Amino acid sequence: MRAPIEAIAWNDEYVRILDQTRLPAEEVYLECRTLEDIAGAIKRLSVRGAPAIGIAAAMGFAFLAGRISTANHEEFAAQAASISSHLLATRPTAVNLRWALDRMSRIAGQADSITVPELQELLKQEAQRIHAEDIEINRTMGRHGQALLPDDAVVMTVCNTGSLATGGHGTALGVVRSAVENCKQVFVAACETRPLLQGARLTAWELLHDGIPFELITDSMAAVYMKNRRVDAVIAGADRVAANGDAANKIGTYSLAVLARAHSIPFYIAAPLSTIDMTTASGKDIPIEERAPEEITTIAGRRIAPEGTGVWNPAFDVVPAGLINGLITEKGVIRAPYTENIAAAFK
């Protein structure tokens, strides 16, 4: 396999983000220097995928907090809180965003026994730790998840859950990568993932990059693919898992879970504990981001529906826990009953 893709990085001058809206046609890196640059990159989906959003927000927070010029702790904490709330408002469903910003804010609000420059240094280290931990966690999840696959496996995926969506390696795609590293023959059936085509544009790009065999299908082909060809498992990521195991992920994931159950195919969610929100009791409490109508009425900037067409564009749906055969986490594969077993994983 080739060297891993580095979607987010930073230096003293800027936070560097691979602009995923322009893939696969162009590999362009954004140099984000302001709060608007970073928040805009997250909102526009230049950086996307729940863990990657959390990492970008943490890096952005550390970078911008490093530019606050005051020695006064209260003033520092107030400006840091404003950065955090601005970033938090960018995408409502991916709970990793709140999780990462909470970690950063706890440090920013520390008592004044240390100086502001020391706090700024601690924030940098925390953002680096969040990034490094995510890669490590993905690898651990990958090890647990790959054990669920036969030696010769066909895995159906949705959206993009690879290096681009995380600190590196990936969640659902990380399981595929780990299986390949473990010498399993894995073939991926990648759903294109309308409206923004993360499957066609990003998953296909990553799989080609790694030399993992795959074929691309439209979302509406999933049912007949399951019926007429072979699928050993459907593995998806998640943007937020509720305490009862209901899991929000890219729109279309619920359809795949229903179809998988109808065809007796196991359906798994691969997500780190940072994606599990113990303060959200069930899927009906997960806020679902609704996005601009143009994402549906146009493709690559070209209008496909007539002017005046009404649109509903929820970016995510919720898979009820009852359709999930297991949550692949860094603590192992969590099975039903989810409420009890998820709580146990946090102990």
Residues with catalytic roles: 239
Q: Which amino acid is at 121?
A: E
Under the binding rule (CB under 6 A), the answer on residue 161 touching ligand MRU is yes
* Rounded CA separation 339/93 (Å): 20
DSSP string, 47-99: S-SHHHHHHHHHHHHHHHHTT---S-HHHHHHHHHHHHHHHHTS-SS-HHHHH
| Beta carbons within 8 Å of 226's beta carbon, 6+ residues apart | 156, 259, 260, 262, 263, 265
What are the backbone angles phi and psi of residue 37, rounded to the nearest 5°?
A: -60, -45
CB of 74 to ligand MRU, least distance (A): 35
**Minimum Å distance from CB 169 to ligand MRU?**
10
Residue 159 near ligand MRU by CB under 6 A: yes
Are the beta carbons of 146 and 183 closer than 8 angstroms? no
Smallest distance from ligand MRU to CB 141, Å: 10
* Cα Dmax for the chain: 66
Binding flag, residue 317, ligand MRU (CB under 6 A): no
Q: What part of residues 188-207 is at the interface with ligand MRU (CB under 6 A)?
A: 198
Q: Pick the binder of ligand MRU from 39, 50, 56, 273 (CB under 6 A).
A: 50
Of the listed pieces 36-44, 115-123, 237-245, 258-266, which binds ligand MRU according to CB under 6 A?
237-245
Q: State the first-to-last Cα distance of the chain, in angstroms, to the nearest integer.
A: 36
By beta-carbon proximity to ligand MRU, the closer residue of 108 and 159 is 159
Q: Which is nearer to ligand MRU, 249 or 325 (CB)?
A: 249
User: Minimal distance in Å, beta carbon 294 to ligand MRU?
Assistant: 15
Q: Which of 48, 73, 124, 240 binds ligand MRU (CB under 6 A)?
A: 48
Q: From the list 84, 105, 249, 280, which residue makes contact with ligand MRU (rule: CB under 6 A)?
A: 249
Pairing of strands 233-236, 185-191: unpaired
Which region among 49-57, 64-72, 100-108, 210-218 touches ligand MRU (by CB under 6 A)?
49-57
Q: Which amino acid is at 181?
A: E
Q: Interface with ligand MRU includes 237 (CB under 6 A)?
A: yes
Q: Can residue 175 be called a binding residue for ligand MRU (CB under 6 A)?
A: no
How do strand 267-270 and strand 15-18 relate by DSSP bridges? unpaired
Q: Which is nearer to ligand MRU, 22 or 67 (CB)?
A: 22
Query: How many CB atoms are located within 10 Å of the residue 12 CB?
Result: 7
* Interface residue list for ligand MRU (CB under 6 A): 45, 48-51, 94, 159, 161, 165-166, 171, 198, 237-239, 249-250, 315
